[in-house]
């Protein structure tokens, strides 16, 4: 792997946010693509931390500082990944479902969708079904996009689907779901309109709803 990408991954794992930001800027200045820096630097480091967390080699505080470093690095990439001045093609309401505080993947989904020219209203984390619906209604959104990282919270997506179906938004708003424990089969079983495995695919799928 490229040396600077390796260093970004290492410093991210050590939670060195200012250093990560500096290295990401250096990588950009060296001409590496934002996608390469994201996938092979930042996400590579986060994956290693995730594995160590799973094996009880690191704990919540270490994961939190690594997550902070990841978000700091993303601030450099964000304007490069989001096409400036692209005409908005539609509105998406995005959030991590109720009970779930993981937001790194959700933030990537936002970035990729904005990069496709979609307007994204990000409700943050711990978002209830009612809050998704209210925001979709207020903003005339065509898509509600839910992220979940816990097997204990992915069931909340079913609550969102059922609440939308029981509301005036039924048939007008598509529901997209994703996040590490979510699968195509799960999405189908709860009646969601779309499952995608990663942020890039989520953005492409959202765009395809508008093109349809």
Residues that bind ligand B1M (CB under 6 A): 43, 46, 49-50, 53-54, 60, 63-64, 67, 99-106, 108-109, 145-147, 149-152, 176-181, 196, 198-199, 202
- The least distance separating ligand B1M from the CB of residue 46, rounded to whole angstroms, comes to 5
Residue closer to ligand B1M, measured from CB, 31 or 54: 54
Q: Is the C-alpha dihedral spanning 8, 12, 16, 20 positive or negative? A: positive
Residue closer to ligand B1M, measured from CB, 64 or 166: 64
CA–CA separation, 115 and 74 (whole Å): 14
HSE-CB for 203 with a 13 A CA cutoff: 20
97: DSSP letter: B
**Residue 181 to residues 95, 128, 153, Cα–Cα distance (Å):** 16, 19, 10
Residue closer to ligand B1M, measured from CB, 104 or 131: 104
Q: Which helix (H) or strand (E) holds 15?
A: none
- The least distance separating ligand B1M from the CB of residue 18, rounded to whole angstroms, comes to 18
- The least distance separating ligand B1M from the CB of residue 105, rounded to whole angstroms, comes to 2
Beta bridge partners of 144: 93, 175
Residue closer to ligand B1M, measured from CB, 13 or 196: 196
Burial class (CB in 10 A: 0-12, 13-18, 19+), 56: exposed
CA–CA separation, 148 and 102 (whole Å): 7
Residue closer to ligand B1M, measured from CB, 32 or 81: 81
- The least distance separating ligand B1M from the CB of residue 188, rounded to whole angstroms, comes to 15
- The least distance separating ligand B1M from the CB of residue 179, rounded to whole angstroms, comes to 4
């Amino acid at each position: 792997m490229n040396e600077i990408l390796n260093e970004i991954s290492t410093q991210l794992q050590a939670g060195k946010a200012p250093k990560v930001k500096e290295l990401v800027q250096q990588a950009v200045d060296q001409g590496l693509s934002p996608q390469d820096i994201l996938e092979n630097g930042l996400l590579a480091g986060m994956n290693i931390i995730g594995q160590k967390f799973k094996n009880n080699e690191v704990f919540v505080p270490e994961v939190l500082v690594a997550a902070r470093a990841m978000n700091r690095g993303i601030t450099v990439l964000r304007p490069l990944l989001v096409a400036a001045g692209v005409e908005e093609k539609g509105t998406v309401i995005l959030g991590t479902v109720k009970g779930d505080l993981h937001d790194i993947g959700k933030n990537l989904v936002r970035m990729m969708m904005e990069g496709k020219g979609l307007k994204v209203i990000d409700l943050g984390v711990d978002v209830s079904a009612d809050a998704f619906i209210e925001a979709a209604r207020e903003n005339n959104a065509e898509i509600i996009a839910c992220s979940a990282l816990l097997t204990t919270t992915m069931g909340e997506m079913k609550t969102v689907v059922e609440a939308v179906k029981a509301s005036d938004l039924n048939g007008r708003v598509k529901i997209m779901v994703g996040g590490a424990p979510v699968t195509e089969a799960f999405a189908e079983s709860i009646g969601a309109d779309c499952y995608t495995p990663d942020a890039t695919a989520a953005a492409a799928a959202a765009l395809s709803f508008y093109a349809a």
